[in-house]
Structure 1
Amino acid sequence: MGRSLIKYVIQKIAHGTLVEEYKRGYPRLAAFVASDPSFAIARRFSYLHARNVLYRQDRLADLEAQLQELDENEQTQWYLSSRRDDGNSLRAQLLSRLGDELREYENALFSHLRVHTLPSPSSRAKENVQTWMNQYKPLVKSEADFILKSDLLTLDSTEDRGRFDEIIERAVERVLPRNLGYRLLSSKETRVMTSDQNVHIYKPGRLRMLSRVVVTLVVVALLLVPILVLYNVHTSLRRFLTIIFSILGFAFIVCLTTKARKVEIFTATAAYGAVLVVFVAQSA
């Protein structure tokens, strides 16, 4: 694992124990996963959740059909009009089973919903975990192959980490000199958190702060550059084309580098376009 391939944050976990000090195997893998929220990657098991829901659903459908059949074949109207005096013991047993099956079905549904709504790991986080596991091989191959599956989820849902953060991280690693990029995102404390010389440790929050700074500069550029162009262009056609391409560029940048929802992309693009239109109207 080269330094230019993976530079990630490994924080000290409980009692200050280094990841490398844990026994190789599940203990060391658990210490690594617990060291940073982005490493908390697990299988989603979407197929198994779907199979479980379908199985419980059909069991309920079977009980539903049995209950309807019992009700339709009931000869004593009083039994259908009173639960307390219902003399059909099969119906009571069936309704008891029905309650248990409904609870199991609801548990399966909401479990599937909770797992389905958890975010997928970023390609960078998956790459970091996979590269670490390939080097240290904490598990036997058959048990380590979970990281190669496509139905992965992450428990790191507290941060708004989008594609732009990954672009910034890769740019720091590949564009800046190695020591400069490492020192920019690390601190004296984080540089001694692991004994592995191939692992670069980032101080939590520095990458996010750098990403925010770059985003701020990009936003300012997206506003100022079109305004400067519009200020120096006087024909209506050129101004119209400048506005169109600026709005398209802004929308694509927001769409490709953030996790903004469709309504947020629409709102931001509309506001951006309004600023340019107002400038043209006032400078006409």
Structure 2
Amino acid sequence: MNNSTNDLKVMEEGEVGKECAQTLELLPSLTGKTAVPEIAGTTRTSSFVSKSEKNAIIEPTKDVKRCGVKGWFTFVPSFTKLIKRIPRRPSYNVPVNVRQLEQCPRGYPNLAAFLDSNESFTLYRRFGYLQARLLLDKQDEMRKLEEKLDEMDKEDEENRSKRLITRDLKEQDAGPRRELFKAIEERFCEYAHILTTAQTLMAFNRPAASDYQSVANYIYNREPVVEDERTWIYCKEDMITLRAGREHAWLDTGIERLLRFLHCQLIEWLFCSKETKLKSRGIEVYYDRSRINAFVNTLIALIILLLLVVPIYILYHLIHDVNTGRAYAICIGVLLVSTLAFSAVLSLFTRARRHETLAAAAAYCAVLVVFLGNVSP
């Protein structure tokens, strides 16, 4: 009976051993290593592989797994070693090509390089006076053509001509009117083109006082062109800038002036990029616009946070500590002062429009009022 039981056990282990042996043969291809070494003094056969050895291959979380046969060990690599590392591509340092002011010849090349060195320096004249003169001239031409058309209509009405009620006329009858309409169309297209161009130029932003002063100082000190050809910079009221004035407000200008006044190696390292440093080797200093915008946004966020936390802290202590009629009056004063400070920050530090400032101030005041109403003494 015992012999039959042992034979049955050997047969079962032989079936499992065959499956485990096949898996062991595939292990080197999965792990990238050689087959599991054999222990000295033992003989490895496929018929004596237990289930524990098979589990050692399926579960590679432990470094050492004991096989079913006594004295057998298999070393399975850890899970992290099974993961193939993705090779990294070598990074390529893109060369920076920046036009320096000192490399441009003195004259219009140097002036053009300076105006292009910073988006704040893109100042040009819109020639508003010439626009008005052209529009008045084309307008008067259109007026004369309009009067001529009215005279022609009155003449046809007096003669009871069919020219006013139909367009199906002979060439000799319709010729003069067609020539007049052709001239009206040409003059009107010219007039409309000048009108739309003038409207587009009128929509451009006016340059900031600091930007205009910077360009004027450069032209006055460097004298890139002759006197007669640099007088355009004196027409301050006729200047426009190509720069969009979305967020460039008083705070941006103040920070730029402060950075130029306190310029040092630390400020240059913080606010000057590699490209801006290459623009000039002289006294001109160029700051990275994105870094200044990030600093301004951080500063505004901190100010808004203080305007929310400080009034709430004051109102909380006034209600809980004092709890008198005078304390409620002080709370109303804190609400008014806080809302006024919040509106001033939006008006001075951002380019928010009037209705946007009004809506933001109303929402801010509503938050404080709700907090004040929900806090019980």
Class of the TM-score when normalised by the shorter of the 2 chains: 0.7 to 0.9
Length, aligned pairs only: 269
Equivalent residues of 1:119, 1:157 under 8 A apart:
yes
Q: Is the alpha carbon distance of 1:257 and 1:51 closer, same or farther for their aligned partners in structure 2, counting shifts above 3 Å?
A: farther
Q: Is the alpha carbon distance of 1:139 and 1:190 closer, same or farther for their aligned partners in structure 2, counting shifts above 3 Å?
A: same
Q: Is the alpha carbon distance of 1:46 and 1:232 closer, same or farther for their aligned partners in structure 2, counting shifts above 3 Å?
A: farther
Moved more, 165-174 or 110-119: 165-174
Structure 2 CA distance for aligned equivalents of residues 92 and 228 of structure 1: 80
Structure 1 CA distance for aligned equivalents of residues 208 and 181 of structure 2: 47
Structure 2 CA distance for aligned equivalents of residues 61 and 144 of structure 1: 38
The structure 2 residue matched to 1:153, chosen from 224, 235, 240, is 240
The structure 2 residue matched to 1:170, chosen from 247, 257, 264, is 257
Q: State the shift of 1:110 in Å.
A: 0.5
Q: State the shift of 1:165 in Å.
A: 0.9
Equivalent residues of 1:173, 1:181 under 8 A apart:
no
Structure 1 alignment gaps of length 5 or more: 1-13
Match in the other structure for 1:108: 194
Structure 2 CA distance for aligned equivalents of residues 252 and 214 of structure 1: 15
The structure 1 residue matched to 2:339, chosen from 234, 237, 247, is 247
Moved more, 117-126 or 81-90: 81-90
Q: TM-score, normalised by structure 1?
A: 0.86
1:124 alignment partner AA: S
Q: State the shift of 1:267 in Å.
A: 1.6
Equivalent residues of 2:300, 2:349 under 8 A apart:
no
The structure 2 residue matched to 1:267, chosen from 340, 350, 359, is 359
Greater Rg over alpha carbons, structure: 2
Q: Please state whether the residue corresponding to 1:138 is helix, strand or coil.
A: coil
Moved more, 22-31 or 144-153: 144-153
Q: State the shift of 1:67 in Å.
A: 0.7
Q: State the shift of 1:177 in Å.
A: 5.7
Identity value in percent: 30
Q: Please state whether the residue corresponding to 1:65 is helix, strand or coil.
A: helix
Match in the other structure for 1:6: none
Q: Please state whether the residue corresponding to 2:215 is helix, strand or coil.
A: helix
Structure 1 CA distance for aligned equivalents of residues 136 and 329 of structure 2: 59
Q: Please state whether the residue corresponding to 2:240 is helix, strand or coil.
A: strand
Q: State the shift of 1:15 in Å.
A: 4.8
Q: Relative contact order (alpha carbons < 8 A, sep ≥ 6): 1 or 2 greater?
A: 1
Match in the other structure for 1:53: 135
1:160 alignment partner AA: E
The structure 1 residue matched to 2:307, chosen from 190, 213, 222, is 222
| Cα displacement string for residues 47-73 of structure 1 (whole angstroms, at most 9, x for unaligned residues) | 322332233223222211221121011
Equivalent residues of 2:277, 2:286 under 8 A apart:
yes
Q: State the shift of 1:188 in Å.
A: 4.8
Match in the other structure for 2:100: 18
Q: State the shift of 1:243 in Å.
A: 0.9
Structure 2 alignment gaps of length 5 or more: 1-95, 320-326
1:195 equivalent in alignment to 2:287: no
Match in the other structure for 1:62: 144
Q: Please state whether the residue corresponding to 2:363 is helix, strand or coil.
A: helix
Match in the other structure for 2:153: 71
Equivalent residues of 2:100, 2:278 under 8 A apart:
no
Structure 1 CA distance for aligned equivalents of residues 198 and 276 of structure 2: 38
| Cα displacement string for residues 111-166 of structure 1 (whole angstroms, at most 9, x for unaligned residues) | 11100111111222222222222221112222222223212111112753222211
2:145 alignment partner AA: L
1:33 equivalent in alignment to 2:115: yes
